Amino acid sequence: MAEAINQLDMAGVEVIKEHFSLTPLQVQQFTALGELYREWNAKINVISRKDIDNLYPHHIIHSLAIAKVLNFQPGTTLLDVGTGGGFPGIPLAILFPECQFTLIDSIGKKIKVASEIAKAIGLTNVTCIQERAEMEKGKFDFIISRAVMPLGDLVKLIRKNVSTRHQNAMPNGLMVLKGGNLDGETQPYRKYVEITDISTIFADDWFKEKAVVYLPL
C-alpha cells in the first residue's frame, strides 16, 4: 500500500515538473507533501479520507492552476481565505518563494495542520492565522481561495483587503478556484470577470468543469 501511494506521489510530482520549472528544493518540498498530509490527516481530518490518495491532482495541482493564470512577481502579497489544511496557499508558496502568503481559517485544527506542514518543509514565506476573513485588516495584492463561499459573499468580505499598489501583469484582485456552472455567481461581474478552464491546463478528467475565476477589484 505504501509503495502504491508513493507511486501516486511520484506521478503527481512529475506532473508538476512538466508544467513548472522547479529548483531541487522545490521538488523536495512538493515530494514531501504527500507523506506529511497523510500523517496529519490521520490525526486531524482536513481532506476527505476517501480523497487522500488523490492529494496531488485534487489538491496540490488544483491549487497550482492559479499560477497558470498569473506568474506572481517577487514581493507580491497574497491572502488565502478559508485555507483549511493549506490550499491553495502552501503549494503556491512553494512555487513562489519570493512572495508572501498569509493563510487564514476560522478553525484552529485546520490552521495547525497548515502551519505544521509549512514548518516541516521549511517555508519561510507563510504566516498561518486562526481568524475569520471579516477580522483581517491587512492589505494584499491578491486574495486567493478555493470554493470557500459564493463569489458575491467573498467579494463583500475581502474587498477591504485589496491593496491599491499594483506590481503584477494583472490588476490586484481575487483569484478563486471554483467548480460547476458559474453563470449565476459571475453574472454581476460579467463585464470584467475572467474565467480560465483548468481542463485546458491539466489533462486529468477531474478538472472538467473546474476553473480559476479572476476578478480585478
Query: Which has more pLDDT, 90 or 9?
Result: 90
5 pLDDT higher than 90: no
How large is the average pLDDT for residues 65-84?
98
Q: How many structural domains are present in the chain?
A: 1
Could you tell me the residue range of the domain that residue 101 belongs to?
Answer: 2-216
> What was the pLDDT predicted at 28?
96
Going by C-alpha positions, the residue among 36, 133, 132 that lies closest to residue 85 is: 36
pLDDT tens-digit map of 157-192: 999 999 999 999 999 999 999 999 999 999 999 999
Query: pLDDT value at position 111?
Result: 97
Reply yes or no on whether the pLDDT at 203 is more than 70: yes
Cα 7 versus chain centre, distance: 23
Helix %, strand %, coil % of the chain (to 5):
45, 20, 35
The SS3 of residue 142 is strand
pLDDT in tens, 123-152: 999 999 999 999 999 999 999 999 889 999
Cα–Cα distance, 215 to 143 (Å, whole number): 10
Is it the case that residue 205 has pLDDT exceeding 70?
yes
Q: Which pLDDT tens digit goes with each residue over 96-124?
A: 999 999 999 999 999 999 999 999 999 99
Q: Is the confidence at residue 15, as pLDDT, over 90?
A: yes
Measure the CA dihedral 157/159/165/166, to 10°.
100
pLDDT at 7: 87
For 28-54, what is each residue's pLDDT tens digit? 999 999 999 999 999 999 998 889 989
Output the pLDDT for position 195: 97
User: What CATH number does the domain containing 122 carry?
Assistant: 3.40.50.150
pLDDT score recorded for residue 1: 41
CA gyration radius, the chain? 16
**Amino acid in the structure at residue 18:** E
Q: How many helices (H) and strands (E) does the chain have?
A: 8, 7
Over residues 54-82, the mean pLDDT reads 97
Predicted structure pTM score: 0.96
What is the rounded average pLDDT of the residues 11-23? 96
